[in-house]
Structure 1
Amino acid sequence: MAALTALWQKYKSIIAYLFWGGVTTIVNLASYQWLSTGLHWHFEVATVIAWFLSVLVAYFTNKVWVFNSPYTTWRAFGVELVQFFFYRGLTLLLDMAIVYIGISWLGFSSSLGQFLVKLTDNIIVVIVNYVFSKWLIFKSNAKIMHK
């Protein structure tokens, strides 16, 4: 039992990130599918709106349940929020590039094809977002919170 507790302590942020990343991915995929195939919106517009909705979910879940970043000062909160959206904006560009290449260049334009492109895209983006969150956003804000 002690070994399981030690493993949990060592990997709990990764496990929480994967769980909430899964929730964020579901929000992203579901909203994208609904907008692109349900409402027949252009895939680029659907991607941006799906991104925005999933970033809102990701910010609060990452802050509270993954990285346990406390609400200390308005300044620290503002810096953290701006950094989070900035780095997620960078991964939005990656997201847009992957979707564009998959649908426009590689021809995955059917509903299933678009879904598979978005699924692959989300896996890549989740990994990059973890790196940004773990080492650049929530960690660096510990310094700001104590000023």
Structure 2
Amino acid sequence: MNDKINNLIKKFLNKETISYLIFGVLTTIINIVVFWFAERELAFIMSEDAASLVGNVIAWVISVAFAFVTNKLFVFESKSMAFKVVMAELTGFVIARLLSLAFDEGFMFVAIVLLGMNSLLAKIISNVFVVIINYVLSKFFIFKNK
């Protein structure tokens, strides 16, 4: 029984998953701070709901740029800087992040507009799911060839 537990711990608590969690938390912090700032500033020129959804997209763009660099270099250690490799990784990364953005926007719409949830709380909850989705897509589809 102890061997099974130790193997499970080794499988999930390794350099890759720990660094993904660290950079995932940093990406999430960037995403939430940019969202908060953008939503606050956009609320002066549009409705609160629209400001939340547009601010979410702005936060996504900035956090995806940060996440790509940190995932490529530090998490999945894809060191190739060959144009073809970087473009393939970037394309896959952006497509995967667009899928998680669709989830994020859908979650935010339901939580804020339909359920009346606090936008910052909705953003934090949504980000938990987004981090998991992004890890799976990055590990198995984007940076699979180190």
State TM-score, norm by structure 1. Answer: 0.84
| 1:82-115 CA distance string (max 9 Å, x none) | 000010011000010000000001101xxxx111
Q: Of 87, 90, 114, which aligns to 1:81? A: 90
Q: How does 1:40-51 map to 2 (within 5 A)?
A: 40=43, 42-51=51-60
Post-superposition offset of 1:11: 1.1
SS at match of 1:55: helix
Q: CA deviation at 1:37?
A: 2.3
| Mapping for residues 89-100 of structure 1, pairs under 5 Å | 89-100=98-109
1:116 aligns with 2:125: no
1:18 is aligned to 2:21: yes
Contact 2:16 2:76 survives alignment (8 Å): yes
- Opposite residue 142 of structure 2, the aligned amino acid is I
Instruction: Output one character per residue of 1:7-51: Cα deviation in whole Å (capped at 9) or x when no partner.
Output: 599611000000000000000000000111244261111010000
Partner residue, 2:74 = 65
Structure 1 residues not aligned, in runs of 5+: none
1:52 maps to: 61
Secondary structure, counterpart of 2:14 in structure 1: helix
Once superposed, which parts of structure 1, at least 4 consecutive aligned residues long, lie more than 3 Å away? 6-10
Any unmatched runs of 5+ in structure 2? 1-5
Whole-Å Cα distance in 2 between the matches of residues 9 and 72 of structure 1?
28
